[in-house]
Structure 1
Amino acid sequence: MIVPGFLYYLLQAKGKNRYKPLPIYGPKQVAKTFHKVRGKVVYDTIYHQVQDFKLYDQDGKLVTRQSLKGKVVVMNFFFTHCPTLCNEISKNVADLAGNYTKNNILKFVSITVDPETDKVPVLKNYAKALKANDGQWKFLTGDTTTIYGLSRNGLLLSAVNGKNNPENYVYSEKLVLLDQERRIRGYYNGTSINEMSKLNDEIKVLIAEELRNIKDNLY
């Protein structure tokens, strides 16, 4: 019997289905605040979060961290004239996004590392070629300081300007999964079918986690 991979994360605890939580990546520090578990003091943890940013999508609309509030986000870097790698990753993302066209919690965000070339009209044509849903998948451009700062300091990935030579661009092939609090919950190789399958599984786990948190906060 073939069992979907995401069931790996589904555990049985006291007769109830519970998901094994995904890890939280990046630097962290112990907070001064605390909560108690069975009478024992447990200090809270401050986790790394992606910083705020201001970029523009394929429709010329401003996109910030606030624009993605309450969303689970899959984010990556690319450039439209990339020889081969970006196209392969973008196709894999397009296939993955097709599984979530009716899901309002999940968003996909692809950020160009070559904003000098990839202006809004270029991104619009690129999105059309991929048949990307504008509401679901954002292609962003803007100033290099914001983009490279977001890559290095926010997503903890490499990105370097190629100085007009596509072969000299340094950027990560990783897709990054972010939760609703803008914390990094996973890294995945966008060229690997196995890694894309894992991402698909862990998106489901994270959405289940977020929905459970929403439910818990109502009571």
Structure 2
Amino acid sequence: MILVLVLVVPGFLYYLLDAHGKNRYQQLNIFGDKTVAKTTHKVKGKAIPDTIYHTLADFKLTDQNGKQVSLRTFKDKIFVVNFFYTGCPSVCKLMNENANVLDSLYKKNKMVYFVSITVNPKQDDVSTLKKYADGFKGLTPKRMFLTGDTSSIYNLARTGFLVNALQTGPNDFVYSDKLILIDAQKRIRGYYTGASSKDVDKLNDEIKVLYLEEVRNGEPAVY
């Protein structure tokens, strides 16, 4: 209980709203296309149409240790994703260092993962990613650097995470500078500039809010 309080209370307080003299809990946004389902649920006796949200399609990539990674890897998990490549001169390293800091903050929480996907898989094979990851100190097993084939990664970026990823020249790549927060239902819950300390602090708060939301929705609290 103490650990739960330490993890969720700061973020929870950050998102308390004062409404008519009462504190109300503000949930995080859900990004992507939404459609109205034919099914309904009841709220105070009224039938409310269900909403179908954009979710990630399954994928198959490989981490820096040669292990296969798919959506099944993140079953009942929250994870944060960013795109990078090892030859990136500056911004990528800063994004990944910020993700590493967050990784260290959640090292005892088995529900929260941090994932970086290369946009240059032809160069960034497993051995290259392993060497790159080893250049950082204190990473947890929940910190992943992923590679795969170009078409799969670029399609995953565009249609899954709803960000750009493409190669424009021999050593030139267009990719998002965002850290992307994904919930246990594989929905996008937030975008944060990976090189901004202010945005990274906001992401830290919103991970706590999302963790609380998942626990309230019946996901197991795991440490």
TM-score, scaled to structure 2 = 0.88
Q: What residue is the counterpart of 1:174 in the other structure?
A: 178
1:183 and 2:187 equivalent? Answer: yes
Paired AA for residue 186 in structure 1: G
Query: Is the Cα–Cα contact under 8 Å of residues 19 and 209 in structure 1 kept in the other structure?
Result: no
Query: Is the Cα–Cα contact under 8 Å of residues 32 and 53 in structure 2 kept in the other structure?
Result: yes
Query: Is the Cα–Cα contact under 8 Å of residues 34 and 53 in structure 2 kept in the other structure?
Result: yes
Paired AA for residue 84 in structure 2: F
Deviation at 1:11, TM superposition (A): 4.6
| Structure 2 Cα separation of the partners of residues 51 and 132 of structure 1 | 31
Identity score, percent:
53
- Among 174, 185, 194, the residue aligned to 2:198: 194
| Structure 2 Cα separation of the partners of residues 60 and 16 of structure 1 | 51
Structure 1 residues 206 and 5: alpha-carbon distance in aligned structure 2, compared to 1, 3 A threshold: closer
TM-superposition CA deviations, 1:40-60 (whole Å, max 9, x none): 110000000011000000010
Deviation at 1:163, TM superposition (A): 3.4
Partner SS, residue 218 of structure 2: helix
Please show how residues 49-60 of structure 1 align to structure 2 within 5 Å.
Answer: 49-60=55-66
Deviation at 1:36, TM superposition (A): 1.6
| Structure 1 Cα separation of the partners of residues 85 and 110 of structure 2 | 26
| Structure 2 Cα separation of the partners of residues 65 and 215 of structure 1 | 16
Please show how residues 7-86 of structure 1 align to structure 2 within 5 Å.
Answer: 7-11=13-17, 19-86=25-92
Paired AA for residue 41 in structure 1: A
Structure 1 residues 42 and 75: alpha-carbon distance in aligned structure 2, compared to 1, 3 A threshold: same
Partner SS, residue 103 of structure 2: helix
Structure 1 residues 84 and 10: alpha-carbon distance in aligned structure 2, compared to 1, 3 A threshold: same
- Among 203, 206, 216, the residue aligned to 1:212: 216
| Over 4 Å off, 4+ runs | 3-6, 11-18
Query: Is the Cα–Cα contact under 8 Å of residues 100 and 139 in structure 2 kept in the other structure?
Result: no
Unmatched segments (≥5 aa) in structure 1:
none
TM-superposition CA deviations, 1:95-154 (whole Å, max 9, x none): 121111111110011000000000001111111111253521111000111100110000
Q: What residue is the counterpart of 1:203 in the other structure?
A: 207
Query: Is the Cα–Cα contact under 8 Å of residues 76 and 219 in structure 2 kept in the other structure?
Result: no
TM-superposition CA deviations, 1:15-65 (whole Å, max 9, x none): 997631101000010001001222211000000001100000001010001
Deviation at 1:14, TM superposition (A): 11
- Among 130, 134, 144, the residue aligned to 1:138: 144
